[in-house]
């Protein structure tokens, strides 16, 4: 048994950032309402399934995000999956707050939740819990209902600080 | 303002599964040790950065997983990013427990943590917290050190129940 302590030559934030630049993530946009019922939203690379029985979702958000104060238990949110055609939408919801919601581009769903029909699919989910960790938070949501507009061939992924599509299918895993 | 409640025509687990089939996720393998110091590990599609100051990582795991009992605060784990060449490794760590660790394929690092040098990069991270939610759990880890073997051009992603590579770069986001 060889113990190679010197192999791990990067530390702390450098270690984290180097490794996560090599890790691809799916891109989603997440929308909800502020305390006056107005639309809020952001682009997220942390949306993950947390089991299907019961159907739960998790996502990470910085406590410093402008939307964070509105994300609390009971709040309904819309999680949108995106494909390559939705790149402008991903950029828009990652841009300045004032330009995220443009009249005519989005619809209003249950509990005033804004949503974008351009997305490949949209999941309505309700916040059940959140865990604050340092300056970030893990949010757990319960999936309630959804609509699929299309089964995307080229979902949007984030990798090496840029937006990409998914490429070659290597292997089924049915 | 048009409220379209009928638009969301899928419910519960169907809603969740339909939407997440449209969402791509990065594939990682995660390794650690059991109570006797032996190697344990699994393939994960939920590894996510949770902020870089301090450097934290989150991942989701089913409480029914064979490795779950060993994942508790203080435990050191190795998170491996994978590229297309690592597909056999992703399949191996998602397969039967007996065939996940084959002598000669892996090394032993700090605190007996097994790791695979074939991976594009490897992050050592220590469990700081976990939150059990229904039959699953969210695990938060603190990034300690890492090694990068290469900057992968084709990271491995999971989409529509199959392994894929990342395709066309659409847009930088520096």
Instruction: For residue range B113-127, list pLDDT tens digits in order.
Output: 999 999 999 999 999
- Angle in degrees, CA B169, B170, B171, rounded to 5: 105
Q: For residue A25, list chain B residues with Cβ-Cβ distance below 8 A.
A: 25-26, 48
The model's confidence at residue B5, banded by pLDDT at 50, 70 and 90, is low
Across chain B, what does the average pLDDT equal? 95
Q: Output the DSSP codes for A73-136.
A: TT-EEEEEE-BGGGHHHHHHTTS-GGGS--TTT-EE-GGG-EE-TTSSEEEEEEEEEEEEETTE
User: Does the beta-carbon distance from B16 to A55 stay under 8 Å?
Assistant: yes
As given in the structure block, the two tokens for residue A40 are 């809020």
Task: Give mean pLDDT, residues B49-73.
Answer: 95
pLDDT single digits (tens) A17-39: 999 999 999 999 999 999 999 99
| pLDDT recorded at residue A1 | 46
**Minimal CA separation from A172 to chain B, in Å:** 4
Q: Which domains does chain B have, with CATH numbers?
A: 26-149 (2.30.110.10)
Cβ contact A132:A59 at 8 Å: no
Q: CB A47 to CB B23 under 8 A?
A: yes
Report pLDDT for A4.
55
CB-closest option in A21, A56, A155 to B22? A155
Q: Closest partner residue to A11 among B45, B144, B160, by Cβ?
A: B144
Q: Could you read off the pLDDT of B124-162 as tens digits, one per residue?
A: 999 999 999 999 999 999 999 999 999 988 999 999 999
Low-confidence stretches of chain A (pLDDT < 70) are 1-5
Strand, helix or coil at B123?
Answer: strand
């Amino acid at each position: 048994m060889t113990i190679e302590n010197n192999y791990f030559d990067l530390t702390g934030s450098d270690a984290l950032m180097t490794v996560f630049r090599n890790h691809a993530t799916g891109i989603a946009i997440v929308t909800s309402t502020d305390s006056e019922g107005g639309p809020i939203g952001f682009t997220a690379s942390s949306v993950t399934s947390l089991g299907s029985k019961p159907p739960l979702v998790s996502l990470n958000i910085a406590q410093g995000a402008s939307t964070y104060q509105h994300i609390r238990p009971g709040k309904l949110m819309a999680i949108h999956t995106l494909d390559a055609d939705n790149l402008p939408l991903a950029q828009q919801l990652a841009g300045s707050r004032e330009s995220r919601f443009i009249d005519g581009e989005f619809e209003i769903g249950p509990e005033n939740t804004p949503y974008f029909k351009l997305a490949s699919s949209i999941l309505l989910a309700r916040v059940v819990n959140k865990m604050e960790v340092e300056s970030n938070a893990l949010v757990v949501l319960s999936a309630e209902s959804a609509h699929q507009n299309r089964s995307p061939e080229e979902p949007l992924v984030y990798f090496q600080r840029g937006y990409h599509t998914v490429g070659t299918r290597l292997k089924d895993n049915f």
